[in-house]
Amino acid sequence: MSVTAPLGVTAAGIAAGIKPDGVLDLALIVTDEPATAAAVFTTNLAAAAPVQLSRRHVSGGVARAVVLNSGCANAATGPSGDLVAIGTARAAAKVLGCKVTEVLVCSTGTIGDPLDGPTVAAGVGAASAQLERSPAAGKSAARAIMTTDSGPKETLVESGGFTVGGMAKGAGMIRPDMATMLAVIVTDAVASAEDLSEALRSATEVSFNCLDIDGCASTNDTVITVATGASGVTPDREALTSALTTAAKDLARQIAEDAEGASRLVTLHVKGAVDAAAAKVLGRAMCDSALVRSAFYGGDPNWGRLLSACGEAGIPFDPTEFSVSYQGVLVADEGISTGVDRADLRSTMETGDLDVVVGVGSGPGEATLLTTDLTPQYVEFNAEYS
């Protein structure tokens, strides 16, 4: 169950020396032949050097390799960071015998620290010598991109004669728009660049873009997908989109379940908005609220915090049509309390994951977002982590 599951791809994860103590910190994903490629990136205006490089390279719709490092984001590193990013691509192109523009580069870790170019270049060479098609190689690659993750995140989807395999990292700094942290999704389907790009964007919109863990969008968020075509199967765009969506949703849920300091996963359903986009904005406003997420931590059915967050989201809605259900129990309807015994409800909300449904009107717009509670452990972790 990894990026090596589809036909036509190999992977490796090694300790290049970016992190101390021999920890895996560099992953290399390589296709047997140049593959169709598409990607989505952070919309953060302080985008890191590897994001800027990969944006340019993926515009051609073809990729042969993805190089990913952890331990340093290579963000806010100025011209020297740009040189490291292109140097990484050149090192991979040289050892693989492909075009520089067929290499995509990703980095994750602390913002502002310089990334040592020679270390990464040497790591690319070392990783190329360890490329394998095995599940173990895929798992090593998934481990090599981890930062604060508690374990590797992988997925496998089999559909209509073709396979989708993927890996992701992410546990904090997650409020994406276009992507979340780092993810590579590989399929052995035959797909045009246009179909792959549209399928990826559709999949991302209902998966990674529906994650909101701590209200912070990273400088490095990247999701890359490549189609090797090695299965010989050409799915229609709907089938391709469905398979990529299943994989992306699985990875997104794993990220949410592994969120820094979180004690519970919260699934927030927003219904009745004017359209899906409005529902997502309202959902994010609730997920971004420290008051709301603190209530989730305490299992407190304080629906007024949800109403207040929606009221300042900038999306028109009628408060008299506002409704909230916690764990299937309606606590507010038509903008007022239903009179449910909150003490009894709270006793059922104190532990375990939460399911929250918020109605904001009678429109067709819906969105489902994943978030977590806000815990003292989250604050302690991020006060100390560097």
Longest Cα separation, the chain: 69
pLDDT of residue 180: 62
pLDDT of residue 191: 98
Residue ranges of domains in the chain: 9-257, 265-384
pLDDT of residue 378: 87
Question: Would you say the C-alpha torsion 95, 96, 99, 104 has a positive or negative sign?
Answer: negative
Active-site residue, selected from the candidate residues 10, 42, 180, 375: 180
pLDDT of residue 184: 98
* Residue 357 burial class via C-beta count within 10 angstroms: exposed 0-12, middle 13-18, buried 19 and up: middle
Average pLDDT, 10 consecutive residues per value, the chain (386 residues)? 94 97 97 98 94 98 98 97 98 98 96 97 98 98 96 97 97 75 96 98 95 87 97 98 98 93 95 97 96 95 96 94 97 96 88 95 97 91 71
pLDDT of residue 132: 98
Check if 9-257 and 265-384 are the same fold: no
CATH T-level assignment (fold) for domain 9-257:
L-amino peptidase D-ALA esterase/amidase (3.60.70)
pLDDT of residue 385: 56
Tokens 């489902």, residue located? 368
- Report residue 342 CA to chain centroid gap: 35
Check if 180 is active-site.
Answer: yes
Taking the C-alpha atoms of residue 86 and residue 175, their distance in angstroms, rounded to an integer, is 28
pTM: 0.92
Domain 265-384 has what CATH class? alpha beta
